[in-house]
Chains A and B, each alone.
Chain A
Amino acid sequence: MDLREKIGLLIDDMPSMRTTVRMQLASIGLEKCDQASTVKEAIDKLTAKHYDLIVCDYNLGKGTDGQQFLELVRRKHILPMTTAFLMITGETGYQQVSTAAEYSPDDYLLKPFTADTLGTRLGRIFERKEALEPVYKHLGAKIDYTKALAACDELIAKKSRYQLEALRIKGDLLLAKGRATDALALYEGVLQERATPWAEVGKANALIAYGNPDEARGLLEQALVAYPNYLAAYDALADLLVKTDKFAAQQVVDQALHVASTTQRQRELGALALANKDFERAEGAFKIAVDRDRTGFFKSHDDYAGLTRSYVEQDKIQDALAAVKDMSTHFQRTPELAARQAALESQVYVRAGDEKNAKAALVKAQAAQKSAKLDINTMLEIAQACFANGEPDEAKKIIQDVAENYQEDERVLDSIRTVFEVAGLEDEGALLLDDTKKRMIRLNNEAVALAKSGELDKAIMMLVEAADRLPNNAQVAINAGQALLARVQSIGVDMTQIAQAHRYITQAIKANPLHPKLDAVVAFYRKLAPPGARSLEI
C-alpha cells in the first residue's frame, strides 16, 4: 500500500508521543501529516481540510478521550466514513474502544508498537476502506438506503473478503429502515454459522422492531452472560427497558458504567435516576458528566439542567444556583444558554420560596423565547419554569406547539410527559398529548374529506397553513405535498405548485427522513414533475 499520497492527522496531547508516532508514520511513507494536541484543534483541522487518515490517541487529557472524539465527529458528520480512523490505546483503553457500542474506529493498536505493525495495520484499513467505498459513499449525512443496500449485496454476492463488514452494515441499514423480517433473517443466518456478539445484539434489535420485546430481552440477558463487556448489548437492553421498567433500565446502565464509564452513559444514568426519583444517584452521575470533561466539548446544557434538578429535589439550593451559574463559564454565550439558565434559575428560586427572583428569571427566559428560535429542550425548560411559577396556561401553550411539531417523535413526547410529571400534572399531560394527536389526525382527515368532495383548493389551503406552522411535522408536510400533487394530476402542470410540493416534501424529509409514507409521495412527485422541475432525493 502506497501511503505517500495519503494525508494524515495525528491527535495526541503528549508532544513526545506525537513526535514518535510522526516519525513512525514517516518511516512507512506517510509524510504529509498534520498534528493536533486538543479536541478543539482537531475539529478545526477536520472541518477545514480533507484527511485520508486520523491517528488518534485514546487518552487526550483534560477528561476527554479519543472515543468521545470519534463519536462526536461521526455524529456531526465531520468525519466521512471514507476517512480511516486508527485509535492508539494503552491496555486499559482498548476494551473501551474495542467494545464501544455505536461508533468504533476502523482499527486500534495497542502501545507499544513498531513502525512495521503500524504500516501493516494502515495498509489493511485502507484496503478495506477501498473495498467498502461503494457502500460508504451512500452513508454520508444523507443516507441513500437503496443504493447502500445494493452495494452491500454486491459485496456479499461476490464473496468479497469484506463480506462480513458488508453484512454488518446491511443489518444496520435494514433495521434503520424498519425491515425487521429481513434483518432477523440476516442475523440468524450469521448466528447459524458461529456465535458473535454483534449478531446477537442485531437479532435482539430485529426482534424488538418485529414486536417481540420479551424474546429480545431474554436474548440480550443471555448474551451479556457470555459477553459481559459487550457495551452494545447493555445499550440495546437499556433502550428496551426504558419503555417498560425504568428501574431495571437504570440497573443495566449502571452495569454498563462499570465496564466503560462514558459521559453519554453517565448522562443516561442521571436521566433514569431522576425519573426513578433517585436524586442522589442522579446528582452523582450528572456531576461526573459535567466535571470529567474539562474542555466543555462533550457536555451539554442538558447535563447542567439534570444536575440542577438533582440538587433542587434534595433542597440543595446553593449548589443548584452554583450549577446554573457554572454554565456561563463552560458554554458559549448564546440566547439559547441565557434562556436555559434563566428558566433553571427560576425553578430553583421557586423551590427556595423566593417568588420575586423566580418571577424575574422567568420573565427573562420568556423574553429570550420571543426573540430567538430555541431548541426543544430549552422550550420545555421554560414550560417547566412556567408550571413552577404557577402559570400553567403559558406552559401548555409552549408544550402544545412542541407537541404539534413533533407529533411523531416518541423521544420528544416522552420529554413532554416528564415535564408534566415533574409539575405533578401527569394526567393533564396525557390528556394534552392525546388531544394534540387527535387534532392532528382530524386535520388530516378533514383535508382528505375536502379533497374527495372536490374541494381540493380548500384542502390545500388547510394543509399548507398547518405545514408552515409546524415545520417539524413530517406527516402534515407530506399531506400538503400530496394534496398539491393531486391538484397537478387533476388540473394539469402548474410549475408554482410543483415547486411548492417540492418544498413541502423536502421539509418532510428534513423532519423525518425515515417516515413510512415518504417513499410514496416522492414517487408521486417524480411521476408528475415535468422535465425541468427540481429533482427529489431521499
Chain B
Amino acid sequence: MEILLAAAIHDAKNALNALGVWLDKAQIECGGQSAALNQAKSITATISGQLVELLALYRAGEGNLRMAVEDQHLEDFLGDLITELSATGDTEGAEGSTAAPSIETDFAAAKEIDAWAFDAYLVKFVLLDALRNAMRHARQKIRFSIAAEPGGGIRFNVADDGDGYPDSILWAESTAKMTPESSGLGLSFARVIAERHATPSGRHGRVELANDGLGGTGARLSLILP
C-alpha cells in the first residue's frame, strides 16, 4: 500500500508540476499577468502541498514518517519560503477579488538566532499551508514573523486580520474537524510535524491557534519548534 500510495502521489505531483510549467507558458503567451492563471497556479500549488501532507500523514500513521532534522540558516529558509510563495502565484490575488492581502514580514530574530535544527522540507509545507490559509481569510494584511521562544525553541507566527478561527476549530485542539472551508488536513499535518520535532531532553514542538491576530481578533497560527 505504502508503495502504491507513494507512487500515485509522486505521479500526481509530477503531473501538477507539469501543469504548473504549462500555466507559466500560458502566462507568457498571453502577455504577462492574468489573474485567472495566477489563481490556477495557486490552486495547483495548494493541491501539490496537500498531496505532500497526505503522504506524510499516512506515513506517520504507519510509523514510517522519516524526518531529516538538520541545521537550517533561518534567513535562507525564510527567503526560500517567500520566493516559493510568490512563484506559485499565491501573492497575486484572485480574479474578481480586490487586491491580494499583503504579507508583512518580521524576520529580525532570524538573524539573531542564526540557525535552528528542523526538517526544512516538512516545516516549509506547514508554513506554506498556514500562509495560504491566511491569504484566504485575511482582509488586507498578513503578518509573518519569527521569534525566539523563551525557555528554548523558536516560534513562527502567521497572523491575519480576518474573522478569526471558528470556535469549532479553536476548541477542537487535538482533533481537527472537517469544516465547510477546510478538510482539516493542513492542521492535522501541522500538529503531527510539530509533535515529531523533539529534543533529547524530551521537549516537543506544538501548534498554537488563537484569535489574537492582527487587530486583536484575527486568526493566529504559531508553530513552535523545540
Contacts and interface: CB of A to CB of B under 8 A. Distances in A.
B117 interface: yes
Q: Identify which of B66, B73, B76 gathers the most chain A CB atoms within 10 Å of its CB.
A: B66
Contact of A222 (B52, B83, B200): B200
B70 A99 contact: yes
Contacts of B87: 114, 116
A477 to B, nearest CB: 41
Interface in A198-246: 198, 200, 219, 222-223, 225-230
Given A91-B10, A114-B87, A164-B115, A196 B121 contact: no
Contacts of B76: 124
A110 interface: yes
A95 B13 CA distance: 18
Interface residues of A, number: 32
Interface in A96-142: 98-99, 110, 112, 114, 116-117, 120, 124
A223 B200 CA distance: 5
Contacts of A99: 68-70
Contact of B17 (A91, A92, A112, A222): A112
B201 to A, nearest CB: 7
B226 A195 contact: yes
Given A117-B83, A219-B200, A197 B14 contact: no
Contacts, number: 74
What band does the interface of chain B fall in when counting residues whose beta carbon is under 8 Å from A?
20 to 34
A194 B116 contact: yes
Main SS of chain B's interface residues?
mixed
B95 interface: no
Interface in A239-290: 259
B123 interface: no
B71 interface: yes
B173 interface: no
A524 interface: no
A226 B117 contact: no
Nearest to B48: A112
A90 interface: yes
17 contacts: A90-B10, A94-B68, A95-B68, A99-B69, A117-B80, A117-B84, A120-B83, A194-B116, A196-B71, A196-B116, A219-B200, A226-B202, A227-B198, A227-B200, A229-B67, A229-B68, A259-B66
Interface of B: 6, 10, 13-14, 17, 52, 55, 66-71, 73, 76, 79-80, 83-84, 87, 114-117, 121, 152, 198-203, 226
Given A195-B152, A227-B198, 19 more contacts: A95-B68, A112-B13, A112-B14, A117-B80, A117-B84, A120-B79, A194-B116, A194-B117, A195-B201, A195-B226, A197-B70, A200-B200, A219-B200, A222-B200, A225-B198, A226-B198, A226-B202, A227-B67, A259-B66
Interface of A: 90-92, 94-95, 98-99, 110, 112, 114, 116-117, 120, 124, 161, 164, 194-198, 200, 219, 222-223, 225-230, 259
